[in-house]
Chains A and B, each alone.
Chain A
């Protein structure tokens, strides 16, 4: 046998031993599990350049049990179930594994596995507040501040179980409920004492109490529920294999080991095995069903629409309060850029470029979260911070609109005004600015309509406006998703269309003679 023939033989032998097995291994696709890492610790979070967390380890364990590899797919938390229906190349997923609680409305479309964790809601406060808020019942009490009484402010994740719980009968309107999509942010505000308390799922509470500087659990956790994995409807085989793997993990102590690593093991988990052995899902006796049966679906939708309309009011208030301010600042900046001495034009130019070149979201963060850390005097309520942030951001765009308008006014206009003996400021006031304003009506109106929609960014600073409210309602009312979306879009249209009409009217009324006969 020549050397060449020997190698061919060796390759064929190697193929016959490992080839088919290797191919079979390759054929098993990874277990694609959907999560939203912004939810943070201890679920899924980054350490160095690696994602860790008890759900990451749980996913790895389950994938291993299924003979597959684990592949994390990121998405927005409340939209994760929708990813179950998508193919892999469109970021589709096999399971949702991200602190999703067992819920009747979800169960209909996305059948769940047996529970992998028993959670409760925890009440977290600053350690200095313990005297004032030592239990759940204290949340209903108003607090004295600067001679006025005000409700206790409680931060929660919008659309979470905690949010629904605090909106319920026990607390109702007794609270000043502040909504934010990010746990770490809410926790940070409690640490800074800008929120009185927060209610979160116990795993998050335990993590932050352990890692935060001054946070404590104020009372016994309450309102237990199950974390489950959501699967595709009709994917019974996968669900059965996941159920078996979860039970196995509980029995052999794997889950306990994972939970202990993150400080999450407690007495409630001792009964996890019992729950996994009950017929699943258990019968639902939730409030929502009862309420709907009493009132009927139409009334329920009416209530939701009412909430959206109230949130639209916040959108209108934010827009109407911030835009005139943006126009005023923008006009001053534009006048400075066109008519001031050269040394002043440079910082004004930088002001415009900085604000146009950085996202509104960051600017709102800066105004609301960072300014107070520079000096306590710069602490603003969410609404004031929202108005300021929007006004400052849009002032840059308005400055450019006005600058374009000012530059479009022929030089002769200023000369004619000065030649009549007007002071430069008077000339600007009565001759130049009125003409510039007429020219910029279309772009300014455009910006006002854009600002209406940009108010939705204010949700990051605890303001619940229309889009935020829609997202909140969406999560717990998936049966009305289409209706809610139409109502929300309709409300935006109802708010912005009159503006477009007004702009058209102003253009016709004022704009026609703005430049006639002058060029």
Chain B
């Protein structure tokens, strides 16, 4: 479980996260929605330790903690990042590696697994995201949607307790965005898959199909937290954003 408690973050004098408190449970698909500049992506980056924050606390399964204003130890950061995977808006695949090598990279270079073991995992995961025939392709040879699916497989490879999706479809056209959301849907529907998924997105239609809970962030504050069905009901906060 990811617990975010009263997190405050400044960018200069700007208070971009203004006392955020949220919880994401195992197996849950949570959507962070709201207007641009509300602090959604920043919150994800704080959870993953890519950005620091000044106050509050982030804890993962009550084992790993990031405390506002205190620089985490290198060991804490490494363990946290190996527990919480991340998928980026711009995919950020490693262009000099093949699709399979990208998926293997976390296992080999972060967890120290053998290449043989990592390769087997990579092939399985690429098949799962529908790219079993693209293991040897370089990112430049893949479409945007395919690249993002490789990125999801890469995040899954280290078997994380949670995956953070930072606007995974906003750089894609609707058809490709659909491909990516189908993969996320499949994961959400898979009873074996127990990782929490937190999705930041402006694609409310897609979010509606996949999310269990919805949190609305506006000006660095959570203005709504509740079940997706309620949020998207007529007159609900999500419906107001559509």
Contact = CB atoms under 8 A, between A and B. Distances in A.
Do the two chains belong together in a single complex? yes
Interface of A: 410, 412-413, 415-423, 426-427, 430-431, 434-435, 438, 510, 512-518
Given A430-B109, A516-B139, A517-B142, A419 B96 contact: no
Interface string B110-152: 1100000000000000000000000000111110100100010
Contact of A515 (B79, B81, B95, B106): B95
B158 A420 contact: yes
Given A415-B50, A420-B154, A517 B140 contact: yes
Interface residues of B, number: 33
Contacts of B109: 417, 420, 422, 426-427, 430
A155 B102 CA distance: 59
Given A421-B110, A430-B105, A516 B140 contact: yes
> Do most interface residues of chain A lie in helix, strand or loop, or is the interface mixed?
helix
Contacts of B138: 513, 516
B105 A421 contact: no
A435 B96 contact: yes
Contacts of B88: 412, 415-416, 419
A413 B88 CA distance: 10
B27 interface: no
B201 interface: no
A510 B106 CA distance: 23
A420 B81 contact: yes
B92 interface: yes
Interface in B34-81: 48, 50, 74, 78-79, 81
Interface string B81-118: 11001101011111110000000011001110000000
A423 B78 CA distance: 7
A514 B97 CA distance: 9
Interface of B: 48, 50, 74, 78-79, 81-82, 85-86, 88, 90-96, 105-106, 109-111, 138-142, 144, 147, 151, 154-155, 158
Given A415-B92, A419-B86, A422-B106, A513 B50 contact: no
25 contacts: A410-B92, A413-B94, A416-B88, A419-B81, A419-B85, A420-B82, A420-B105, A420-B155, A421-B81, A422-B109, A423-B74, A423-B78, A427-B109, A430-B109, A434-B96, A438-B96, A513-B95, A513-B96, A515-B95, A516-B139, A517-B95, A517-B147, A518-B92, A518-B93, A518-B95
A510 B95 CA distance: 11
A517 B50 CA distance: 23
B217 to A, nearest CB: 21
B50 A420 contact: no
Contacts, number: 94
A107 B74 CA distance: 79
Contacts of A421: 78-79, 81-82, 106, 110-111, 158
Q: Which of B93, B155, B158 has the most CB of A within 10 A?
A: B93
B122 to A, nearest CB: 13
B90 A410 contact: yes
Nearest to A510: B96
Contacts of B154: 420
Contacts of B151: 416
A435 B139 CA distance: 13
Contacts of A514: 95-96
A431 B94 CA distance: 7
Given A422-B109, A516-B138, A413 B50 contact: no
A418 B111 CA distance: 12
Nearest to B81: A421
Contacts of B82: 420-421
A508 to B, nearest CB: 14
A513 B85 CA distance: 25
A423 B110 CA distance: 7
A175 to B, nearest CB: 53
B45 to A, nearest CB: 8
Given A513-B138, A517-B140, A435 B81 contact: no
Contacts of B81: 418-421
